[in-house]
Copies of this chain bind each other. A is one copy, B any other.
Amino acid sequence: MTSLSQFNQQMQPLIDQTMQQVVLSHPLIDQYRGLKDMLSYHLGWDGAANRAEVQGKRIRPLLVLLTTAACSQSGWETALPAAAAVELLHNFSLIHDDIEDRSILRRGRETVWKKWGEALAINAGDALFSLAYNAISLLKQTCSPDVVLQSLEILNNTCIRLTGGQHLDISYENERYIGLDDYWLMIEGKTAALISACVSLGAVIGGADRYQQQQLAEFGRSLGIAFQIQDDWLGIWGNAAQTGKSTESDLLTGKKSLPIVFALQNKGKFAERWLSAPIQADEVAYLAGLLVEEGARQYTEEQAEQYTRQSLQSLINANIKNEAGQALQELALMLLKRSS
């Protein structure tokens, strides 16, 4: 058994327990039964048969705890409230993203808005947002006030980046053309910010020194960007069944993913076709081929490679020499080599 899977086995039950404590044991939540039911459903505590699938892999809280374990002598349990916070924050953003994107399925089940309507779903997302802050505030039971306030600041910063990135993502939907700069700014907010925050929270709570904190934050940021680029690659050349997503290619949904944005910048045949009218299903294979021809696949792979390298280098720079550091590296490699 690898270090990563050992840690994962130890940590996941406590992550779940802490999340349940924050949400289901909140002293006020029983007053609002319907709201509690919605949150239980979205977080997979409603007795769903496919619980593991419904809850997702919970990689973000794992990143928090592994980083704490990597930096600290005194045990990762102190960071559990922060781990719960990032997973609750992630789940809040999923509830709202699903409304914004009109997605009807999430992790194999109906989305919250599809099941309860938009009004209640917007509000349930808000409740979860607030519960993420409740979780951070619980840190005061295990950490110094200074660490709690630093963690609060990390969460605040992350939320602005998340909502900023999401703003750009929605805005780009109505534009046929966006440039590479627009793309990087969007994914920095939408994906990299939260992953970077996980590592930063773990480092602050684990008592890392300033240099280590910087290196770890950079590790998280590059990891998040590489992760998103990989996702974009899969959206065009991955096996749709494997990705567990809709069978539609990013070429059909009009998503501004990296290969597409690169090719648009190139102003070749792909750009010409893309800008003229929406893509039809029978053109997908041809257009994916054009992207390869025009160097978009190669560019995407190079970028993924570069951010992966940068990420692993920052982890090495942080100079962590324990099992948890080993597990962090494993997790990064696993995320970057995934096929789904």
Contact = CB atoms under 8 A, between A and B. Distances in A.
Interface of A: 26, 28-29, 31-32, 34-35, 96, 99-101, 118-120, 122-127, 129-131, 133-134, 137, 140, 145-146, 148-149, 152-153, 155-157, 159-164, 166-168, 170-171, 185, 189
A103 to B, nearest CB: 12
A300 to B, nearest CB: 24
Nearest to A129: B129
A149 B153 CA distance: 12
Nearest to A126: B163
Interface-centre pick from A118, A153, A167 (highest chain B CB count, 10 A): A167
Contacts of A167: 32, 34-35, 120, 123-124, 127
Given A99-B122, A122-B99, A159 B171 contact: no
Contacts of A118: 99-100, 118
A178 to B, nearest CB: 13
Given A26-B160, A32-B167, A125-B126, 8 more contacts: A31-B185, A35-B167, A101-B119, A126-B162, A126-B163, A133-B155, A145-B146, A145-B148
Nearest to A26: B160
Most chain-B Cβ atoms within 10 A of its Cβ — which of A118, A133, A134? A133
Given A133-B152, A163-B130, A157 B28 contact: yes
Nearest to A152: B137
Nearest to A165: B32
B127 A160 contact: yes
A28 B164 contact: yes
Given A160-B127, A164-B32, A120 B152 contact: no
A217 B118 CA distance: 34
A96 B120 contact: no
A160 B129 CA distance: 10
Contacts of A129: 126, 129-130, 159
Nearest to A135: B156
A160 B152 CA distance: 18
A100 B127 contact: no
Contacts of A28: 157, 160-161, 164
A125 to B, nearest CB: 8
B137 A159 contact: no
A35 B164 contact: yes
Contacts of A148: 145, 149
Q: Which 7 A-B pairs have the closest CB atoms?
A: A130-B159, A145-B145, A100-B119, A32-B164, A127-B163, A35-B167, A134-B156
